[in-house]
Amino acid sequence: MRRIKREDTVLVIAGKNRGKQGQVRQVLPDQNRVVVQGVNMIKRHMRQRAMGTQAGIVEKEAPLHVSKVMLICKSCNHPVRVGFRVRPDGAKVRVCRACGEDID
């Protein structure tokens, strides 16, 4: 089970984008990286592929290492560390270490 998942709101805690918040668009677990919406923007020179695609300089998000982001808890609205707990029904859930509430 992952500590950070798609659609989570995260805060960047290191690097040139420190202090920015955004939603996780994609998680790359094999590379330990996440793509956050509107953060770590890079420019790529794109060649025209087909008649419909536009050539030129395109800005897009680059992956960040997962250690550079912290999950923002929905209940206490702070960047927090993530723990895990097994419910009595056997489900494993993510838990906010600050307030103790379930994240999932």
Query: Looking at residues 90-97, what average pLDDT do you find?
Result: 94
- Average pLDDT (53-67) is 91
Q: What is the dihedral of CA 43, 45, 48, 50, to 10 degrees?
A: -50
Residue 95: CB atoms within 10 Å: 19
Question: Residue 49 — φ and ψ, nearest 5°?
Answer: -95, -50
Domains of the chain: 9-72 (2.30.30.30), 77-104 (no CATH)
Confidence label for 51 from pLDDT (cuts 50, 70 and 90): confident
Residue type, 90: G
Tell me which residue of 42, 39, 97, 93 sits closest to 72, measured CA to CA.
Answer: 97
Rounded CA separation 5/18 (Å): 20
Q: Could you read off the pLDDT of 2-15 as tens digits, one per residue? A: 899 999 999 999 99
